[in-house]
Amino acid sequence: MIKKRRQSRAPNRQLTVLRCCCTVTEMAALRLLNFWAMLVTLSVCNGWLFENFGSYRNREADEVALWPLPQKIQISGAAFQLSSAGFQITHANGSTAGPSCSLLQNAFRRYFDYIFGNARKQGKNQQKVFDSELQELQVLLTAKDPECDGYPNLKTDESYQLEVDQPTSVLKAANVWGALRGLETFSQLVYEDDYGAHKINKTSISDFPRFAHRGILLDTSRHYLPLKAILTNLEAMAMNKFNVFHWHIVDDHSFPFLSRTFPDLSQRKGAFHPYTHVYTPSDVKMVIEFARMRGIRVVAEFDTPGHTQSWGKGQPDLLTPCFSGSSPTGTFGPVNPILNSTYDFMTRFFKEVSTVFPDAYIHLGGDEVDFSCWKSNPDIQKFMDQQGFGQDYKKLESYYIQRLLDIVSATNKGYMVWQEVFDNGVKLKGDTVVEVWMNNNVDGELQKVTGSGFTTILSAPWYLDYISYGQDWQKYYKVEPLSFQGTAEQKKLVIGGEACLWGEYVDGTNLTPRLWPRASAVGERLWSDENVKDINSAYNRLAKHRCRMVQRGIPAEPLYIGFCPHEYGGL
């Protein structure tokens, strides 16, 4: 039987049926808690004060809905104008990157488009320059190697400083990755006034992520996601400063990854369709490059030994034949851990994977292994006896994982695994990242994993495929990843988290509105300071941020009653 990575859930709550849940007063109350409240909260939290406090114009500030909120920010009341004819983004003198840095050149164009949208005019320098006009954003990179042609990694420095002033603003970062984050922030600072003019306030920002691993998991096995859906979500991830695309690319239901070494895996019934429902090598390359241009790592997951039904269709003898009594039933279980051919296959397969995906980590899965098929198989029982495992099938699982880890280590990759691999006592390399997904004892698990010295990421509270009626983003927002009992050393080992959108009920038709802006809540939790948790401020900013995503072409669903100046029109 097909299993799912699922914790058991209480039956659906009975909803209080209200014909209309809206109360106008509630809305008004939310709106009243405006940007001011947020600024005050922030200034208290971070010990910052604001220049020109008295002259600060409330309405304009309200237009600036930064998401996720930067670590340190000063916004003054002085506003500058920007025009599409008179403004440009350039490399600063002394920057270690220049026009040959195509990653930045593309980012400059992208953010210019976001800022001016359809209002962009033809022709240059036709209008007069205002006294208070912002003419230039200079991007200054300071690292000797700004990593224009590199890939982001777990240790990447994403910090940046932004000084918005006229006539020239400066964005300073060590490398392109920090610059990308700063460009996003800069674009969020620009707003339109009542006359449609683009404006930006004098602002000073110093920003860096709270956690290094900020991921989104998409599942392309339970449903195939067309390339366009994946790329759109990489765009949205960049708008929310996510930096890891965890690509759960294959699973029981289908094997859309077209392997050069073992093309039969997808071409012989492993994919839903061998041509229309596969990711070709060039598709994969495109995803990786598109992600790189946005400072996003692509971590592919090839989950074994369970969740592998689709692998069996194109790779004979890979899966364990299940038995009923003394005869095979014709069905198959997890990967067969007792055959040398299995490990030969894995060696060649992961050799390919390690070259296709440039990231230093591969996710090896290792969750939810069902032992019943192994138990039914007489050859496996014999092997268990030989190895002295008795009836402890966890030992067999560990045996398999251990050999797999050795294979992957030989490719010079690090690995991520689901928590069971740690729970079952498999010997792991020191740099293994353990992903905690079971929601029954999150704090205890984090304690244990970090207590054993392993780095970990949290996804248990952020299974976004579990939908419910109402504003569930608030639940995701209120999660505090470091609330478990542990030493400062242990807490440092929590390097981030992931929002997971498993694919049972999700495909290209509903993926994007289901993920956004709900995942944005996770994005701010993983980026911003832990004291940024005022839910009303978050509501106001997020409502605007979702309208910004809509304007940029992302069909992000509404938080509650209301409207966007530019509604989604791409039907």
Partner 1 sequence: MSGVWRLFGVWPMPQQITQSTDRYLLSPQSFSFSYSKDSAAQSGCSVLDSAFKRYYSLIFPDAADGARKTEFSINTLVAAGAAALKAQSVWGALRGRVYSLIYSLHCIYYFVNKTEIQDFPRFEFRGLLLDTSRHYLPLNAILKTLDAMAYSKFNVFHWHIVDDPSFPYQSYSYPDLSSKGAFHPMTHIYTQSDVKRVISHARMRGIRVIPEFDTPGHTQSWGKGQPNLLTPCYKGDVPSGTFGPVNPILDSTYQFMSGLFKEMKSVFPDSYVHLGGDEVNFACWKSNPNVRAFMTKMGFGHDYTKLESYYIENIVNISSALNKTPIVWQDVFDYRERIPKDTVLEIWKGVPADYRTELAKITHAGYRVLLSAPWYINHISYGQDWRNSYTVQPQNFSGTDQQKALVIGGEVCMWGEYVDATNLHPRLWPRACAAAERLWSNEEMTSNVDQAFPRLEKFRCSLIRRGIQAEPLFVGYCKDEYRGV
Q: Which residues are catalytic?
A: 368
Q: Is 503 in the site for partner 1 (CB under 8 A)?
A: yes
Contact region with partner 1 (CB under 8 A), list: 314-322, 346-354, 364-372, 459-467: 459-467
Beta-bridge mates of residue 75 = 203
Q: Is 26 in the site for partner 1 (CB under 8 A)?
A: no
Output the smallest distance, CB 332 to partner 1, in A: 18
Of 242 and 393, CB closest to partner 1: 242
Output the smallest distance, CB 360 to partner 1, in A: 31
Which of 150, 167, 274, 558 touches partner 1 by CB under 8 A? Answer: 558
Q: Is 272 in the site for partner 1 (CB under 8 A)?
A: yes
The mark string for 194-223 relative to partner 1 (x by CB under 8 A, - otherwise) is ----------------------------xx
DSSP 219: E
Contact region with partner 1 (CB under 8 A), list: 204-212, 278-286, 295-303, 501-509: 501-509
368 close to 5: Cβ distance less than 8 angstroms: yes
Contact region with partner 1 (CB under 8 A), list: 54-62, 68-76, 138-146, 552-560: 552-560
- The residue ranges of DSSP E strands in 366-406, in sequence order, are none
249 close to 280: Cβ distance less than 8 angstroms: no
Tell me how far apart the 2 most distant CA atoms of the chain are, in Å. 88
Which residue do the tokens 């209200």 mark?
A: 18
Output the smallest distance, CB 551 to partner 1, in A: 12
Restricting to residues 280-309, name those near partner 1 by CB under 8 A.
Answer: none
Distances (CA, A) of 208 to 73, 274, 293: 12, 44, 19
Q: Is 254 in the site for partner 1 (CB under 8 A)?
A: yes
Output the smallest distance, CB 251 to partner 1, in A: 9
Which of 9, 128, 144, 155 touches partner 1 by CB under 8 A? Answer: 9
Of 28 and 488, CB closest to partner 1: 28
Task: Tokens for 552, please give them.
Answer: 């940029």
Q: How many CB atoms lie within 10 A of CB 56?
A: 18
The mark string for 522-551 relative to partner 1 (x by CB under 8 A, - otherwise) is ----------------------------x-
Q: Is 20 in the site for partner 1 (CB under 8 A)?
A: yes
> Phi then psi for 86, rounded to 5 degrees?
-110, 0
Contacts of 14 (CB under 8 A, 6+ apart): none
Q: Which long-range contacts (CB under 8 A, 24 or more apart) does 85-89 make?
A: 85/121, 85/123, 85/124, 85/125, 85/126, 85/127, 86/125, 86/127, 86/129, 86/133, 86/135, 87/112, 87/134, 87/135, 87/136, 87/137, 88/112, 88/135, 88/136, 88/137, 89/136, 89/137, 89/139, 89/183
Q: Is 119 in the site for partner 1 (CB under 8 A)?
A: no
416 close to 422: Cβ distance less than 8 angstroms: no
Q: Is 312 helix (H, G, I), strand (E, B) or coil?
A: helix
Q: Is 353 in the site for partner 1 (CB under 8 A)?
A: no
Of 381 and 510, CB closest to partner 1: 510
Q: Is 469 in the site for partner 1 (CB under 8 A)?
A: yes
Q: Is 507 in the site for partner 1 (CB under 8 A)?
A: yes
Q: Is 561 in the site for partner 1 (CB under 8 A)?
A: yes
Output the smallest distance, CB 272 to partner 1, in A: 4
Q: Is 273 in the site for partner 1 (CB under 8 A)?
A: yes
Q: Is 275 in the site for partner 1 (CB under 8 A)?
A: no
Q: Is 224 in the site for partner 1 (CB under 8 A)?
A: yes
- Rg value, the chain, Cα: 25
Contact region with partner 1 (CB under 8 A), list: 35-43, 70-78, 181-189, 511-519: 511-519
Q: Residue 508 CA to chain centroid, in angstroms?
A: 18
Q: Is 562 in the site for partner 1 (CB under 8 A)?
A: yes
244 close to 213: Cβ distance less than 8 angstroms: yes
Region of 189 please: left (phi>0), alpha (psi -120 to 50) or beta. Answer: alpha
Q: Is 567 in the site for partner 1 (CB under 8 A)?
A: yes
Contacts of 184 (CB under 8 A, 6+ apart): 111, 238, 239, 241
Contacts of 563 (CB under 8 A, 6+ apart): none
Residues touching partner 1, count (CB under 8 A) = 61
Q: Is 144 in the site for partner 1 (CB under 8 A)?
A: no
Q: Is 513 in the site for partner 1 (CB under 8 A)?
A: yes
Chain contacts with partner 1 (rule: CB under 8 A): 2, 9, 12-15, 17, 19-22, 24, 27, 222-224, 226, 228-229, 232, 253-254, 272-273, 276-277, 465-470, 503-510, 512-514, 550, 553-563, 565, 567-571
